[in-house]
């Protein structure tokens, strides 16, 4: 049975004065459930804070807009890491990590963070389940005051007061003057990589640029089990048709710009042809071939791939499979003439992955 691949926008799950949490549902984007991938977005207003929580899934976080602070407590750590974050930062968040997020009170813009991750070991395939540590839906609201008091060595009235003192759920707006820990420069090491400032893995003039997250430049990617990349292509440029060689799904969020996308599957069947624009998310099934062409505004997207060190095979350009195949085989496979084979082989000899408009 064919699965609907249509790109979707997220829906608001909860929020208030401090901000909102949005998520993509496998009911609306079925490939999330098929691929066991979760996708969500956190938007914090000035002074907004996402209360401490952990998730049932390993994730990659990408800062889409603004700047602020992320608190991270790794499993068995004795001290939190307080990381200053800004647009373009990517963070790998393994299982068991407790995080909180904060937008500075004087910020002129919302802090917006994208989360993409593997839900194969989670409660709901295709959707994150977050466990709040405090607030009206916090874990300890479910324990009796006897258990909480024993756990924290508090008298039961004090335990009950502490657990019920935060009436909000998930996201709050801090009172004016309330202080939080300041970012520590050393805490960024191996925790965050800014994709807008990192060394480019691919740079094609008038075509596009790529930064790849992997186990070398962001070691925690190995624990998360996902690879990721940020791709920016210029006006009317094309991203070469290609596929993941290692049985991986590719989950793509359009950061900004717009364009067209086509995806082709078995038997040469085009399974998706549509326009894509900023804020939309879509998933490419395993071994399917995908290609994109940007509009006049260009296009930028952030993707995760369900393997930490992904390998792609391209079907156009100087690094494509066609350049490796012999002339005789190409003639026979296409059932074409030597003249057409020579014409075909003479094209795209200096273009790699991205093709600028003629």
**Residues 43 and 180 occupy one common structural domain:** yes
Report the 10 Å Cβ neighbour count for 4.
Answer: 11
Q: Which two tokens stand for residue 344?
A: 């075909």
Residues 286 and 222 both lie in one domain: yes
Cβ count near 149 (within 10 Å): 19
**Among residues 49, 107, 83, which one has the least CA distance to residue 182?**
83
Q: Residue 140: inside a domain, yes or no?
A: no
Do you know the residue count of the chain?
A: 358
- Within-domain flag for 336: no
Residue 56: pLDDT band (50, 70, 90) is very high
Both 174 and 202 in a single domain? no
For residue range 3-52, list pLDDT tens digits in order: 899 999 999 999 999 999 999 999 999 999 999 999 999 999 999 999 99
Predicted confidence at residue 135, as pLDDT, reads: 96
Number of structural domains in the chain: 2
How many beta carbons lie within 10 A of that of residue 22, not counting itself? Answer: 19
- pLDDT for 301-347, tens place per residue? 999 998 887 888 999 999 999 999 999 999 999 999 999 999 999 99
* Same domain? 174 vs 221: no
One domain, residues 33 and 176: yes
Is there a domain that residue 323 lies in?
A: no
pLDDT number for residue 113: 98
Q: Residue 120 domain-assigned?
A: yes
Q: Would residue 87 count as lying in a domain?
A: yes
CA 66 to chain CA centroid, nearest Å: 16
Q: Assign residue 254 the CATH number of its domain.
A: 2.60.120.10
The mean pLDDT value of the chain amounts to 95
Number of Cβ atoms within 10 Å of the Cβ of 238: 22
Domain that includes residue 308, residue range: 195-314
pTM of the model: 0.95
50 and 87 together in one domain: yes
CA distances from 13 to 100, 128, 171 (A): 18, 12, 11
């Amino acid at each position: 049975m064919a699965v609907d691949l249509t790109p979707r926008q997220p829906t608001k799950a909860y929020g208030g004065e401090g901000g909102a949490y949005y998520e993509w549902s496998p009911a609306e984007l079925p490939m999330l459930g098929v691929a066991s991938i979760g996708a969500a977005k956190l938007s914090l207003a000035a002074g907004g804070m996402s209360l401490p929580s952990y998730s049932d899934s390993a994730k990659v976080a990408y800062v889409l807009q603004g700047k602020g602070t992320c608190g991270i407590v790794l499993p068995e750590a004795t001290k939190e890491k307080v990381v200053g974050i800004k647009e373009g930062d990517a963070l790998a968040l393994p299982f068991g990590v407790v995080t909180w997020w904060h937008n500075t009170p004087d910020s002129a813009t919302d802090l917006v963070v994208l989360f993409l991750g593997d839900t194969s070991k989670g409660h709901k395939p295709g959707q994150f389940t977050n466990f709040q540590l405090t607030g009206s839906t916090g874990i300890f609201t479910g324990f009796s005051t006897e258990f909480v008091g024993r756990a924290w060595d508090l008298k039961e009235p004090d335990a009950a007061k502490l657990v019920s003192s935060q009436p909000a759920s998930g996201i709050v707006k801090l009172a004016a003057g309330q202080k939080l820990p300041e970012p520590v420069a050393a805490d960024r090491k191996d925790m965050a990589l800014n994709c807008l400032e990192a060394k480019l893995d691919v740079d094609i003039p008038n075509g596009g640029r790529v930064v790849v997250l992997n186990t070398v430049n962001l070691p925690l990617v190995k624990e998360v089990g996902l690879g990721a990349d940020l791709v920016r292509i210029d006006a009317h440029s094309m991203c070469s048709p290609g596929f993941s060689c290692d049985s991986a799904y590719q989950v793509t969020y359009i950061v900004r710009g717009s364009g067209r996308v086509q995806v082709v599957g078995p038997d040469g069947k085009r399974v998706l042809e549509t326009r894509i624009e900023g804020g939309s998310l879509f998933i490419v099934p395993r071994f399917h071939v995908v290609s994109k062409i940007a509009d006049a505004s260009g296009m930028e997207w952030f993707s995760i791939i369900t393997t930490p060190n992904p390998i792609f095979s391209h079907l156009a350009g100087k690094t494509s499979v066609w350049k490796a195949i012999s002339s005789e085989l190409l003639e026979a496979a296409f059932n074409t003439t030597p003249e057409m084979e020579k014409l075909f082989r003479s094209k795209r000899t200096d273009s790699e992955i991205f093709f600028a408009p003629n």
